[in-house]
Structure 1
Amino acid sequence: MDYFAAKNNRTMIYFLWVILPYTIKSITTNISTCPNQQWIEESLKKGHVPGAAIVVVNATHILYQQAFGYQSLSPQQPMDVNKSIFPLASISKTFIAAAVMQLVEQELVDLDTDVNIYLSEPNKRIFHPHYPKHSITLRKLLSHSASIYISDLVQYTYFQPNDDAFNESLADMCFKYVNPNTSNWLPKPPGTMTSYSNEGPTLAALVVERVSNMSYIDYVKDKIIKLLDIDINKVGVRLSDFANIEDLVKHYIYATNMSYVSELNHLFPQLNITQIQDDFPSWVYISHFGLSAYPAGLLRMSAGTLSIYLRMFLNNGFPILRPQSIAEIRTVVGGCLIPPYNPEWSNNSTGLPPSEEFGLSWYWQTMKDGRRYIGHSGSLPGMSHLMLVNEKNTLGVILLSNIDIGLTEYPLPEMSG
């Protein structure tokens, strides 16, 4: 779930261009040399990051793993790679693609068939009100090309304290916001533009529910988590899914001034947002919450658990998917010919369009030096994450953190070691 696009982009750039490439370079240059821990700690401190977990893997082994800082500032509780449970934010979307491709392999769904066939709701058909003949398909939903657009202010209402968001069913949430009687659509036909959304992938998760006759989270646990030999008790979406809530990483925001706290309370009046006194007067704490579009942003697990899933991707899908399915996920939908939609761009704009190229839930990012990575970023109030894989599909990196701020506003330490 990327609730502030601009903020998430700044955070992603910080991680993508500074910490993670340096980590990758350190390991690929000399496999026996760990990244400079002091430099990473300095970088996180300069960025006001309370805690983070970094894991680097290849197809068979963990090459590097390290926890930094704290999962709780008050009382202080150190971050732990394998025990600290994060909400994965939009990294959760990649699990939707895995679930859909499993159904494709079983010939239960087709990526290019109208999703209404699978939803089986004759009185609640989903289509673009101005382009009813342009079908909404799983491929379009997973590649953000279904012309769905819902404002940030509406999306802020998805967040609810504790497990309250689950009082609304996934079907009710989808049909409320993605239907022809709303204005939540781009002025372009589906399949002709890309626009990042949380509702498109969530609708794809609803298809998984309808076709499998299982709740989405039960499907993920039974068909993905179990097959990866992961303890299902270490994965969930609800707070009540976990025996010890103290294992859940706390959400923090570094406020540069107290008016920022007021702004947060204005945007999220339904959440419990408080300024930490004691030793951290500039930190804002957000109590645990959920969101109704949970498949797109609320899957919870540790960085260590996520690394097992990432190794599956590096193993071309084994043991949950066929290599052809991973190839489908990695393929840029539309062959890079579907442009992004942004009404603020003009023909004489000096700004460059985003470099993201969407596959199925995963997307490609091109570095300044021309190197390409595929993966997904994620942000929630008080969380910023990144998971990526190099172009050769030989190395994967995960960085999960409990911070929410435009980190590039702060000076970075010099890189050393």
Structure 2
Amino acid sequence: MSYVLYLSLTLLAAIGDAANLNCPNNQWIEKSLNNSYIPGAAIVVVNGTHTLYEHAFGYHSISSPQLIDVEKSIFGLASISKTLIATAVMQLVEKELVDLDTDINHYLSEPHRRIFHPKYPSHSITLRKLLSHSSSIAVDDSIELGLYQLGDTAFGQSTLAEALFAHINPNTSNWLPKPPGTVSFYSNGGSSLAGLVVERVTNMSFDLYVKEKIMKPLGVDISKVGVRLADFSNRDELVKHNAYVFNASDFNVWTQGLPQLNVTKLSENFPTWLNIPFFGFSAYPSGLFRMSARSLSKFLQMFMNNGSNLISPKSIAEMKIIVGGGLIPYYDPSGIANASTIALPSFGLSWTWQTLKDGRRYVGHSGTLPGSRHWMLINEKNTVGVIVLSNGDSNVPSDRSKEYYQLLENIHLALFQCFEGELVK
């Protein structure tokens, strides 16, 4: 029996075990994380008003053992950061400072640098299209990886505007061969461009806007929220990025794919683990906010509680609506995505709907960066929200991503099953 098949069967059996009175099954979760070479994870379960469960598993760092702490361990949120962009945009919509369907060039105010599709210039790029990944912006993966730089150096090399205008302009090939609004395609660049609109309209850096206008009103200590390493007085609270390699070929993929990050073997005591130094990238709104699982849970509770005092219930509903009514196809000429056993998501405004293997729909967002993989989901009834932040890696080898997805899916299903008080069907 293959390792992956054995792991899948073990996890499926464990979901059944979690249905008994002894739930959540912390022992099973810990064993599952260990079996998938995940050093540590912080898990929080909430409803709109209360924390139902929180638990830390494993290690914040490996070489100098330090346990994960739900409150103190600060993770890079990866693409979960995109949900902050939509919240910021909807705040501006409520103040009538922006409109979701107005051409973003109106807000960028760059007469000599306009954003439009080179083949379809009459199809405007709007905030709705950016947030729902239907703008036809498709920056090449190699370009995005090239933006990763050690420490905070990326922020000194270019501003958010400079990084985006360099790669998202009509003189580049970073566009799909389809008119904006007719297909969907997951776009980090498009999401960050929406963050730039927030900057231009508010005359504040996007990261400062998030701290002052989103996290601070939620009662989060903004000294524990940031993007740059310099934002944190105690860098020991930042969760270390590591990756497990099965052979020399895996190690070579890392060193050749991200040579600028100087990925090395962790130590002689841990020869199968890699150390991924802290890094940043200038197009940060789409994937680099850093905070603890507990801080993120306050944001999730706001969303579940119809916006609390941050945004209106109408804006929450707007973010949940699938743009195009589910009729905008995903652009996948290779057929790779459609051939996957993992169901394609449906896009609202940064928040995405995902159908899991129980046949039910959940809304939230996942996130992946080198050395981390996360998932934040809410059930369709809006009664339970689950956050899993982990410092494991699913990038190398390539089949790790599917295995990791199944692991996070199984943990989420077990926790939903436990805290909904009903069997997952």
- Is the structural similarity TM-score above 0.5? yes
The residue that corresponds to 1:265 in the other structure is 255
The residue that corresponds to 1:289 in the other structure is 279
| Aligned mate of 2:46, from 57, 73, 78 | 57
For the residue of structure 1 that corresponds to 2:57, the secondary structure is: strand
For the residue of structure 1 that corresponds to 2:267, the secondary structure is: coil
| Aligned mate of 1:101, from 90, 94, 117 | 90
Is 2:86 the partner of 1:134? no
Is 2:74 the partner of 1:74? no
Q: CA deviation at 1:259?
A: 2.1
Is 2:242 the partner of 1:252? yes
In 2: Cα distance, 1:344 partner to 1:253 partner: 29
The residue that corresponds to 1:3 in the other structure is none
| Aligned mate of 2:310, from 317, 320, 338 | 320
- TM-superposition CA deviations, 1:72-123 (whole Å, max 9, x none): 0011110000000000000000000000000000000000000000000011
Cα distance change on mapping 1:190 and 1:73 into 2, 3 Å: same
- TM-superposition CA deviations, 1:189-241 (whole Å, max 9, x none): 00000000100010000000000011101111111011101111010000000
- TM-superposition CA deviations, 1:360-409 (whole Å, max 9, x none): 00100012232110010000000000001000111100000011121655
State the AA in 1 paired with 2:164. C
In 2: Cα distance, 1:154 partner to 1:184 partner: 10
**Does the aligned pair in 2 maintain the 1:34–1:64 contact within 8 Å?**
no
**Does the aligned pair in 2 maintain the 1:91–1:378 contact within 8 Å?**
yes
**Does the aligned pair in 1 maintain the 2:63–2:267 contact within 8 Å?**
no
In 2: Cα distance, 1:89 partner to 1:359 partner: 18
The residue that corresponds to 2:195 in the other structure is 205
Cα distance change on mapping 1:124 and 1:268 into 2, 3 Å: same
Runs (4+) of structure 1 exceeding 4 A deviation are 349-354, 407-412, 414-417
For the residue of structure 2 that corresponds to 1:181, the secondary structure is: coil
Matches within 5 A, 1:231-380: 231-345=221-335, 354-380=343-369
**Does the aligned pair in 2 maintain the 1:164–1:290 contact within 8 Å?**
yes
Cα distance change on mapping 1:352 and 1:101 into 2, 3 Å: same
In 1: Cα distance, 2:57 partner to 2:66 partner: 11
In 2: Cα distance, 1:85 partner to 1:282 partner: 24
| Aligned mate of 2:136, from 135, 147, 170 | 147
- TM-superposition CA deviations, 1:31-74 (whole Å, max 9, x none): x8541111001100110100100000001111110001101001
In 2: Cα distance, 1:219 partner to 1:48 partner: 36
**Does the aligned pair in 2 maintain the 1:166–1:292 contact within 8 Å?**
yes
In 2: Cα distance, 1:297 partner to 1:18 partner: 29
For the residue of structure 1 that corresponds to 2:58, the secondary structure is: strand
Aligned residues: CA RMSD: 2.5
State the AA in 2 paired with 1:318. S
| Aligned mate of 1:221, from 206, 211, 223 | 211
| Aligned mate of 1:189, from 179, 182, 198 | 179
**Does the aligned pair in 2 maintain the 1:265–1:273 contact within 8 Å?**
yes
Q: CA deviation at 1:165?
A: 1.1
Q: Which structure has the higher relative contact order (CA within 8 Å, separation 6+)?
A: 1
* Number of positions where the alignment pairs a residue of Structure 1 with one of Structure 2: 396
Q: CA deviation at 1:353?
A: 8.2
In 1: Cα distance, 2:343 partner to 2:116 partner: 27
The residue that corresponds to 2:76 in the other structure is 87
In 2: Cα distance, 1:33 partner to 1:101 partner: 41
**Does the aligned pair in 1 maintain the 2:80–2:376 contact within 8 Å?**
yes
Is 2:148 the partner of 1:159? yes
State the AA in 2 paired with 1:375. G
For the residue of structure 1 that corresponds to 2:280, the secondary structure is: strand
| Aligned mate of 2:389, from 380, 387, 400 | 400
The residue that corresponds to 1:175 in the other structure is 165
**Does the aligned pair in 1 maintain the 2:343–2:356 contact within 8 Å?**
no
Cα distance change on mapping 1:408 and 1:176 into 2, 3 Å: closer
Q: Give structure 1 stretches of 5+ with no counterpart.
A: 1-9
State the AA in 2 paired with 1:341. Y
In 1: Cα distance, 2:403 partner to 2:308 partner: 41
Q: CA deviation at 1:355?
A: 2.4
In 2: Cα distance, 1:368 partner to 1:323 partner: 29
Of residues 181-190 and 144-153 in structure 1, the stretch that sits farther from structure 2 once superposed is 144-153
Q: CA deviation at 1:284?
A: 0.7
Q: CA deviation at 1:345?
A: 2.4
In 1: Cα distance, 2:391 partner to 2:150 partner: 17
Cα distance change on mapping 1:243 and 1:22 into 2, 3 Å: farther
Cα distance change on mapping 1:409 and 1:312 into 2, 3 Å: closer
State the AA in 2 paired with 1:235. V
**Does the aligned pair in 2 maintain the 1:340–1:353 contact within 8 Å?**
no
For the residue of structure 2 that corresponds to 1:172, the secondary structure is: helix
Of residues 269-278 and 208-217 in structure 1, the stretch that sits farther from structure 2 once superposed is 269-278
**Does the aligned pair in 2 maintain the 1:195–1:341 contact within 8 Å?**
yes
Q: CA deviation at 1:293?
A: 1.4
State the AA in 1 paired with 2:146. T
Q: Give structure 2 stretches of 5+ with no counterpart.
A: 395-399, 419-425
In 1: Cα distance, 2:203 partner to 2:379 partner: 36
